[in-house]
Structure 1
Amino acid sequence: MVKKKFKQKQKEKVAQDPVAALTPWEAYQKQQQRAQKKSKPTIEKKLPRLKKLRRKNLMGRLAFLLTLFGVVLLTALYFVSPLSHVGLISVSADKHSTLAEQKVIDASGIKSSDLVLGVLLHQDKIEKRMHRREPKIKEVTFKVHGLRNVELKLKTYKTMGLLMRHERYYPILENGAIASDSTAQPVNNHSVYRNFKAGKKLQQMIKQYRQLPTTVRNSISEIQFSPTKLNPQRVHLYMNDGNQVYATIKTFAKKMRYYPDIAKEMQKKGTVNLEVGAYSYPF
Structure 2
Amino acid sequence: MEQKRVVSIEDRIPKLKKERRKRTNRRLAIYLTVFFLLVFIVVYVQSPLSHVNSIEINGERLVPEEEILEITELDKYTNFWGVQAGELEKLLEEHQLINSATINKKFPANKITIEIDELNYVGYLKQSDLAVPLLENGNKLDGIPLADVSGSAPLLNNFTDYPNLQQLAVELNELPDYVHALISEIKWAPTSTNSQKLILFMTDGYEVELTARNFSELLTTYPSIVSQLDNGIDGVIKIDEGGAVFTPFNSDQPVKIDGGTE
Q: State TM-score, norm by structure 1.
A: 0.65
Aligned twin of 1:23: none
Q: Does structure 1 retain, via aligned residues, the 8 Å contact 2:122–2:172? A: no
- Equivalents in 2 of 1:189, 1:164: separation in Å? 13
| Equivalent residue runs for 1:42-81 within 5 Å | 42-81=8-47
Structure with larger Rg: 1
Matched, 1:101 2:65: yes
Letter of the aligned partner of 1:101 in structure 2? E
Task: Quote how far apart the aligned CAs of 1:153 are.
Answer: 2.9
Contact persistence 1:91–1:153 (CA under 8 A):
yes
Match of 2:212 in 1: 249
State how far apart, in whole Å, the 2-side matches of 1:61 and 1:106 are.
49
Distance in 2 separating the partners of 1:202 and 1:78: 55
1:170–1:180 contact (8 Å) kept in structure 2: yes
Tell me: CA distance 1:182–1:71, structure 2 relative to 1, closer, same or farther (3 Å): farther
Match of 1:235 in 2: 198
Q: CA separation in 1, counterparts of 2:132 and 2:112?
A: 28
1:133 is paired with a residue whose SS is coil
Contact 1:157 1:173 in 2 (8 A): no
Q: Secondary structure at the match of 1:223?
A: strand
Long gaps (5+) in structure 1 = 1-33
Structure 2 partner of 1:190: 153
**Structure having the larger proportion of residues in strand:** 2
Q: Decide which moves more: 251-260 or 200-209.
A: 200-209
Deviation at 1:221, TM superposition (A): 0.9
Indicate the residue corresponding to 2:245 in structure 1: 279
Letter in 2 for 1:59: N
User: Is the alpha carbon distance of 1:137 and 1:215 closer, same or farther for their aligned partners in structure 2, counting shifts above 3 Å?
Assistant: closer
Q: How far apart are residue 65 of structure 1 and its match?
A: 1.0
Could you tell me which residue of structure 1 aligns to residue 103 of structure 2?
Answer: 141
Q: How many residues of Structure 1 are paired with residues of Structure 2 in the alignment?
A: 243
SS at match of 1:187: coil
Q: Distance in 1 between matches of 2:141 and 2:14?
A: 81
2:114 pairs with 1:153:
yes
How far is the alpha carbon of 1:187 from its aligned partner? 1.6
- Say yes or no: does 1:132 pair with 2:97: no
Q: Deviations over 1:146-166 (max 9, x none)?
A: 877x64433333635332354
Residues 1:159 and 1:223: Cα distance change in structure 2 (over 3 Å):
same
Q: CA RMSD in A?
A: 4.0
Establish whether residue 117 from structure 1 lines up as the match of residue 81 from structure 2.
yes
User: How far 1:38 sits from its partner (Å)?
Assistant: 7.5
Superposed CA offset, 1:222-272 (max 9, x none): 223455565454433111233222223331222223323444447953333
Distance 1:230 1:40 in 2: 119
Distance 1:58 1:128 in 2: 52
Looking at structure 1, the residues matched to 168 and 115 of structure 2 have their Cα atoms a distance apart, in angstroms, of 26
CA distance in 2: counterparts of 1:259 and 1:55, whole angstroms: 90
Query: 2 CA distance for matches of 1:193 and 1:163?
Result: 6
1:185 maps to a residue whose letter is D
> Which of 112, 115, 124 is residue 163 of structure 1 equivalent to?
124
In structure 2, runs of 5+ residues without a counterpart are: 250-262
Structure 1 pair 89–51 and aligned structure 2 pair: CA distance change class (3 A): same
Instruction: Assess if the C-alpha contact under 8 Å between 1:161 and 1:192 holds in 2.
Output: no
More helix by share: 1
